[in-house]
Structure 1
Amino acid sequence: MAGIVLAGMESGCCSAKKQQTRKPNVVFLFADQWRASSTGYAGDPNVKTPNLDQLAKESVNFETAVSVCPVCTPYRAALLTGRYPTTTGMFMNDIYLPDSELCMGEIYKNAGYETAYIGKWHLDGHGRSSYIPPERRQGFDYWKVAECEHNYLKSHYYEGNSPEKKFWEGYDAFAQTNDAQQYIRNHAKGEKPFLMVVSYGTPHFPHQTALQEYKDMYPPEKLKLAPNIAEEKKEAVLKELPGYYGHCTALDKCIGELVQTLQEQGLVDNTILVFTSDHGEMMGAQNVRPCLKQVPWDESIRVPFLLRYPAVLGKAGRAVKTPINTPDILPTMLALSGIEISKTIEGEDLSGLIKGDAKGDRAALIMSVSPFIPDLDEYRGIRTSRYTYVRKVDAPWLLYDNEVDPYQMNNLVGKPEKAELQKKLDEQLNAELKKIGDEFKPRQYYLDKWGYKLVKGGHISYVPGAEVQGPGMRK
Structure 2
Amino acid sequence: MKNNEKPNVVYILTDQWRAKATGYNGDPNAITPNIDQLATESINFTNSISTSPVCTPARAALLTGRFPTTTGMFMNDVPLSPEERSLAKAFKTGGYDTAYIGKWHVDGHGRASYIPPERRQGFDYWKVLECTHDYQNSEYYDNDDQDIKIWPGYDAFAQTDDACAYINQHSENPFFLVLSLGPPHFPHHNAPPKFQKIFSPEEIIFSPNVAFDDSKSEAFTRKEAAGYYAHIAALDQCVGDIAETLKAKGLEENTILIFASDHGEMLGSHDKKPFTKQIFWDESCRVPYLLRYPPFTSEYQNRKVMTPLGTVDIMPTLLGLCELEIPDTVEGRDLSICVRNPVELEEHVALYMSVSPFSERNYLDAAYRAIRTNRYTFVRTSDTEYYLFDDVEDPYQLNNLFGTPEFAGVQKDLEQELSKQLEKIGDPFKKKEYYLEKWEYEVGDFGDVPYSR
Bin the TM-score by the shorter chain: over 0.9
Structure 2 counterparts to residues 446-461 of structure 1, below 5 A:
446-461=435-450
Structure 1 runs of 4+ aligned residues shifted over 6 Å read none
- Whether contact under 8 Å (1:92, 1:370) holds in the other structure is yes
Q: 1:197 aligns with which of 178, 195, 204?
A: 178
Deviation at 1:394, TM superposition (A): 4.5
Instruction: Measure the CA separation in 2 of the matches of 1:244 and 1:313.
Output: 31
Given candidates 166, 169, 182, the residue that maps to 2:149 is 166
Q: CA deviation at 1:236?
A: 2.0
Q: Which one of 394, 399, 408 corresponds to residue 419 of structure 1?
A: 408
Q: Paired residue for 1:25?
A: 8
Q: Which among 85, 89, 107 is matched to residue 72 of structure 2?
A: 89
Is contact 1:334-1:340 (8 Å) kept? yes
Of residues 215, 230, 234, the one that matches 1:250 is: 234
Which residue does 2:279 correspond to in 1?
295
Q: Give 1:423 deviation, angstroms.
A: 1.5
Deviations 1:172-199 (A, max 9, x none): 00000000000000012x2x21110010
Contact 1:117–1:145 (8 Å) recurs in 2 = yes
The CA distance in 2 between the partners of 1:432 and 1:236, in whole Å, is 40
Percent identity over paired residues: 53
Determine the structure 1 residue equivalent to 2:192: 211
1:344 aligns with 2:329: yes
**TM-superposed deviation, 1:417:** 3.2
Alignment of 1:101-250 (within 5 A): 101-188=84-171, 190=172, 192-232=173-213, 233-250=217-234
User: How big is the shift at 1:416?
Assistant: 3.1
Q: Aligned with 2:325: secondary structure? A: coil
CA RMSD of aligned residues (A): 1.4
Aligned 8 A contact 2:369 2:379 in 1 = yes
Deviations 1:122-145 (A, max 9, x none): 011010011101111111110000
Distance apart, 1:82 and its partner CA: 0.6
SS of alignment partner, residue 335 of structure 1: helix
Aligned match of 1:390: 379
Q: Distance in 1 between matches of 2:47 and 2:10?
A: 21
Question: Which residues in structure 2 correspond to 1:218-367 (within 5 Å)?
Answer: 218-232=199-213, 233-314=217-298, 316-358=301-343, 359-367=345-353
User: Which residue of structure 2 aligns with residue 8 of structure 1?
Assistant: none
Q: Indicate the SS of the match to 2:207.
A: coil
Match of 1:368 in 2: 354
Q: Which runs of 5+ in 1 are unaligned?
A: 1-16, 465-475
Secondary structure of 1:303's match?
A: coil
Q: Could you list the per-position Cα deviations for residues 303-351 of structure 1 after superposition, in whole angstroms to 9, with x for gaps in the alignment?
A: 0000011123325231111110000000000011110111111100000
Larger Rg: 1
The alignment partner of 2:195 has SS state of: helix
Amino acid at match of 2:197: D
Read off the aligned partner of 1:283 and give its amino acid letter.
Answer: L
What's the CA shift for 1:463?
2.5
2:20 equivalent to 1:37: yes
Asked if structure 2 preserves the Cα contact closer than 8 Å seen for 1:216 and 1:242, the reply is no
What is the CA distance between 1:397 and its match in structure 2?
2.2
1:169 alignment partner, SS class: coil
Letter in 2 for 1:224: I
The 1-side partners of 2:376 and 2:119 are apart by 39
In structure 2, relative to structure 1, the CA distance for the partners of 1:18 and 1:124 (3 Å cut) is closer
Q: Give the SS at the match of 2:253.
A: coil
**1:420-435 equivalences in 2 (<5 Å):** 420-435=409-424
Q: Are the equivalent residues in 2 in contact too, given 1:396–1:413 (CA < 8 A)?
A: no
Q: Give yes or no for contact 2:363–2:447 (8 Å, CA) kept in 1.
A: no
Q: In structure 2, the residue corresponding to 1:117 is in which secondary structure?
A: strand
> How many Å separate the matches in 1 of 2:46 and 2:394?
16
Q: Which amino acid aligns with 1:377?
A: A
SS in 2 for 1:285: coil
Question: How many angstroms does 1:411 deviate by?
Answer: 1.2
Q: What is the TM-score of this pair, normalised by structure 2? A: 0.96
Residues 343-375 of structure 1, C-alpha deviation per residue, up to 9 Å, x if partnerless? 111100000111125332422111000001143
Number of aligned residue pairs: give it.
445
Aligned AA for 1:266?
A: G
Q: Greater CA deviation, 401-410 or 357-366?
A: 357-366
Given residue 104 of structure 1, which amino acid in structure 2 is its aligned partner? L
Aligned to 1:402, which of 368, 378, 391? 391
TM-score (norm 1): 0.92
Deviation at 1:409, TM superposition (A): 1.0
